[in-house]
Amino acid sequence: MTGSHWKDLFRAWSVLPRPVAVPPEAIAAIKAEVRGVRGPILLLGLTRQLMDTSDDLVAIDRSVEMVLNRAGAVRTVAGDWTALPFAPASFAGCIGDGSLISFAFPDRLRSVLSEVARCLIPGGRFACRVFLRPDPTPGLGDLLSIARSGGMTFQHFKFKFAMAMAAEAGSPNIAVAALPELLAARLPGRDELAAQTGWDLAEIETIDVYRSSDATYCFPTRAELTSLLPRAFTAHRFVPVANHPLGQEWPVLVLDR
Ligand SMILES: C[S@@+](CC[C@H](N)C(=O)[O-])C[C@H]1O[C@@H](n2cnc3c(N)ncnc32)[C@H](O)[C@@H]1O
């Protein structure tokens, strides 16, 4: 996957009337899990709000352009999370927000988690918010009823729609570029969708950024994700994000090395 999917998406979000931001509740939940960690922390990605988690933090992302843009705030490194450019046991903690979303189940997802395990010291901790797919997965009809009653933002719907489409196809993985076509086929009238849900049309249109994406999104169920955790992790738990409407479904995965 190239970095352009993320760059285009972050740009589209930032110019909305109500820019999309990482929920502060999620940031607080991730930070809380590494509060007791003593030693260097690795951040998977460039989530600004996580950069002050520790004075001793390195952020890594494979987009050289994005890494250069953020350089200065903290130490940033360009590199691939499936081949981390660090010696074994270099970090006491590793964090991220949604960082695993574009790693296809099972092999790429397993490989990034194995790399994290390799780079953590024994006793080290991984804490990352994950977008789990409920089992059973609500279908489009269920999602629309919630959305029409005002119970879901478009950003949440976008992921839930992707989960519903992945589940219909019988896989945790879905090609991001397929999503605008699927939405057009299943819900052709965007104006009508906006009117029924109260969503801003400009926000609905952010899904068009997906058209040129070569990313695959992965939405494992809790059982699927648990099934591929590397043995190097001795314990795992899913910590709900407090005060967030999807805090139970999209919890912080905490792994102890
Ligand atoms: C998966 S996420 C979300 C992580 C985090 N919330 C953030 O905003 O950085 C998007 C980021 O992951 C990076 N990324 C995706 N696959 C990667 C890989 N194999 N190695 C390193 N970075 C990767 C993208 O370049 C992008 O900046």
Q: Enumerate domains of the chain plus CATH numbers.
A: 4-131+222-256 (3.40.50.150), 140-218 (no CATH)
Distance 143 CA to ligand 1 centre (A): 27
81 CB within 6 A, ligand 1 = yes
Summarised one tens digit per residue, pLDDT across range 45-96 is 999 999 999 999 999 999 988 888 876 778 999 999 999 999 999 999 999 9
Reported as a single tens digit per residue, the pLDDT across 195-218 is 999 999 999 999 999 999 999 999
Atom of ligand 1 nearest to the CA of 45: 9
Query: Which residue type does 34 have?
Result: V
Is the entire prediction scored with pTM above 0.85?
A: yes
Tell me the CA distances in angstroms from 194 to 5, 54, 204, one per residue in order: 24, 41, 8
Cβ neighbours around 152 below 10 Å, total: 20
Distance between Cα 43 and ligand 1 center (Å): 10
In 10 A of CB 235, how many CB atoms? 10
Strands 235-239 and 252-256: antiparallel
List CB contacts of 212: < 8 A, sequence separation 6 or more: 4, 5, 8, 177
**224's tokens:** 């699927």
Angle ∠(145,149,150) on CA atoms, nearest 5: 120
As given in the structure block, the two tokens for residue 206 are: 């952010």
